Amino acid sequence: MKINSHIIVVFVITMISYGCQKTVQLNLPKYEPKMVLEFYLQDDQPLSCLLQESINYTDTTRIKLIEDALIVLSYNGVSDTLLNQPYLDQKLGKFYNYSNPKKLKLLPNVIYSLYINDRKGREMRGTTRVKEIVPIKTLSYVSNDENDISAVLSFDDDGNTSNYYIFAAFRNTPVLGAGVIRDVRFNDILFNGKSFSFNTGYRYVMGDTITARLYHLTQEHNDFAESVSNAQSANGNPFGQPANILSNITGGIGVFTTLNYDEKVVIIK
């Protein structure tokens, strides 16, 4: 009896594949979750922060909020406690699980200190100072042959320090995540001490309201944001370099900083 050659080939490949199968058991070190914090002090805005717990890379849980922690902000002999009450920041488009309705007036040359203690006995500490506002010098707009309109913002950079910025532009609403035309983070390496202009590209039309913001970041805030971006880029990339999150707090991961910005609005007519 003649056996079909194709059947023989399939049988041989199957046996080879079966023989190559081997169960590999990885002995991974035990992962110790850490507190993760985002706390941005804003002038004349309620106190709010997001406190959660880091998770193992293989954990399918997307977010683990930390409940019933003690969070105290201290400055100039005053202490304010944030309660485990949710707050949605419409201007930043961010959700926070701790808040205090008190609106803080940020002051220069004042050290703001943070202390956190959770139910597991973990402690987190941090300090920050106010970064002064860099004023927007001009906000204007130009049009092209198709009557599409671009917003142009200009400002003067301080050459005595290294500066970090976020330029954000909106259409008709100053809410991050809604109506955003441009949102970019950058430093002053290429224009240190000089005037600089930023444009949105031709993405507005007649009748739109342009709202432009220039955020002046602390170096710690910029380092944190850049490290988060690098970690997201490296995630799942076999050729990417491992990225550590750069924090300015002890006892956990995250950022505690002030966030100041100047804002101008113009209506396209």
CA 242 to CA 22: how far, in whole Å?
28
Share of the chain above pLDDT 70, in %: 80
Q: Are 149 and 143 in contact (CB under 8 A)?
A: yes
Mean pLDDT of 137-142: 96
Specify the higher pLDDT residue, 60 or 145. Answer: 145
Q: Which amino acid is at 32?
A: E
The answer, yes or no, to whether residue 193 has pLDDT greater than 70, is yes
Q: What is the pLDDT of residue 20?
A: 54
**Domain residue limits, the chain:** 35-131+219-236+247-260, 136-216+261-267
Q: What is the pLDDT of residue 241?
A: 56
Confidence of residue 229 (pLDDT cuts 50, 70, 90): confident
Q: What is the pLDDT of residue 61?
A: 63
Mean pLDDT of 148-174: 92
In terms of Cβ atoms closer than 10 Å to its own Cβ (0-12, 13-18, 19+), residue 19 is exposed
Mean pLDDT of 212-218: 94
Confidence of residue 148 (pLDDT cuts 50, 70, 90): very high
Q: What is the pLDDT of residue 24?
A: 58
Q: Which pair of tokens denotes residue 221?
A: 């805030």
Mean pLDDT of 203-213: 93
Q: Kindly provide the b/e burial profile for residues 219-250, where b requires at least 16 CB atoms within 10 angstroms of the residue's own CB.
A: bbbbbbbebbebeeeeeeeeeeeebeebbbbe
Mean pLDDT of 196-214: 93
Q: Are 53 and 64 in contact (CB under 8 A)?
A: yes
- Only one residue has tokens 């409940």, namely 67
CATH 2.60.40 is the classification of domain 136-216+261-267: yes
CA 103 to CA 91: how far, in whole Å?
15
Query: What is the pTM assigned to this prediction?
Result: 0.80
Mean pLDDT of 221-245: 76
CA 35 to CA 236: how far, in whole Å?
23
Q: What is the pLDDT of residue 66?
A: 96
Q: What is the pLDDT of residue 19?
A: 52
Q: What is the pLDDT of residue 7?
A: 47
Q: Are strands 70-75 and 98-104 parallel, antiparallel or unpaired?
A: unpaired
